[in-house]
Structure 1
């Protein structure tokens, strides 16, 4: 009997290890199909547009576009969108159609704390050559609305880029202080990445 109890207890511990921890989920981002424009128009034509898109289990994704550049905010934004400190690459860019959400599960409650998103970026402002960059972002929660870019990983020519991005997400995103902590950059040269004026029309 004691051996049976021990085996059951070990099984429960194994189950807990699988159910409590960090995992990934994936959502699609197809702006023309899934998103709603709430300001501006002609998304995809290089003109000003603001869109809200579905993310992971009720977490929204905000997409801001102007002048063939995009900025994204993952999670719950402040009520005043003009307070958002949006970031983007200085070169022309666009984002991929899949977002990986890093999710922390404890006692049956799952919370997305980071998003990993592949961007396609011109390697310089006057170039038509594109490189791929994984952007790691902190997901804004309903009670904090604190979201920003935590890390940038050059993915072109780097087979292990996604593992590096997941490591940055898991180790840094939850405690990252937006506007204070310095983002992590892996690989280079990296195109300029800074605050972007999403209100420019």
Structure 2
């Protein structure tokens, strides 16, 4: 779980639980309400501030991301699907016997997880990585499934060996595409770093 949502949840619980307890105690001992009535009022005294705070926290979070609610929901759904696909890739690691193919798969998982974590932290970057989410990750899963299916076949005739070699080559090309996807996601950071380096160099030159 990301730190900000966790802190938001802690804040909601920190307000709603004391509110529920205070409402229950006040209803029971000050207004002499029945136990079940006090319990219902206490429940309401906790639920209302909990969901009121959640509404404003979500609105604040969306504003910080620069996204609408619909955009955030759309990106969140795609992240959930991507997480499942990355888990499928990870599950194939121990089914591959070729060292070169294993390295390719490890790189594929590394690039995919890095892109996923960056977009999860900053959802607006999803739009710079749409090719990864809609094409390259799907291709990675399909090709890896195909490769592991072929490699476990008891018969290794010329056709199977040729298909394995072709799949390995395609996986290598796909890794290059995933690396490009990662660079696209990081492009703003790289540009910012270059600007900061240029400014630092100019500052050093002026002082000297």
TM-score by length of 1: 0.23
Q: Counting helix residues as a fraction of each chain, which structure ranks higher?
A: 2
Highest Rg: 1 or 2?
Answer: 2
TM-score of the pair, normalised by structure 2: 0.23
More strand by share: 1
